[in-house]
Amino acid sequence: MSDPAINIVTVEISVVLGHSMMPIHQLLKMGRGAVIELDTTVNDMASVYANDQLIARGEVLVVDDHLGITITDTVAPFEE
């Protein structure tokens, strides 16, 4: 049986596809439809974070009109 306190804990989940660095003036000039090039390729894994802590890596997938992620590897604490 699960602990009722666990059911009220909120965790923020983030999935990072890649990173990019650019000057702020370039970012401010971007408009609708702009493309930001990332430092990853199609075959690279996405990183999954829980409250800013890396917890897993996985593959991005499309389900109907939604994006999802399949977890392929969990990450030991403090590994990055």
CATH number at residue 36: 2.30.330.10
Does a structural domain hold residue 24? yes
pTM equals: 0.75
Does a structural domain hold residue 3? no
Does a structural domain hold residue 17? yes
Does a structural domain hold residue 69? yes
18-77 pLDDT, tens digit each: 999 999 999 999 999 999 999 998 889 999 999 999 999 999 999 999 999 999 999 987
Does a structural domain hold residue 46? yes
Whether the CB-CB separation of 14 and 49 falls below 8 Å is answered with: yes
Does a structural domain hold residue 29? yes
Q: Number of folded domains in the chain?
A: 1
Does a structural domain hold residue 7? no
Whether the CB-CB separation of 51 and 12 falls below 8 Å is answered with: yes
Q: Is the pLDDT of residue 80 over 70?
A: no
Range of the structural domain that residue 16 is part of: 12-74
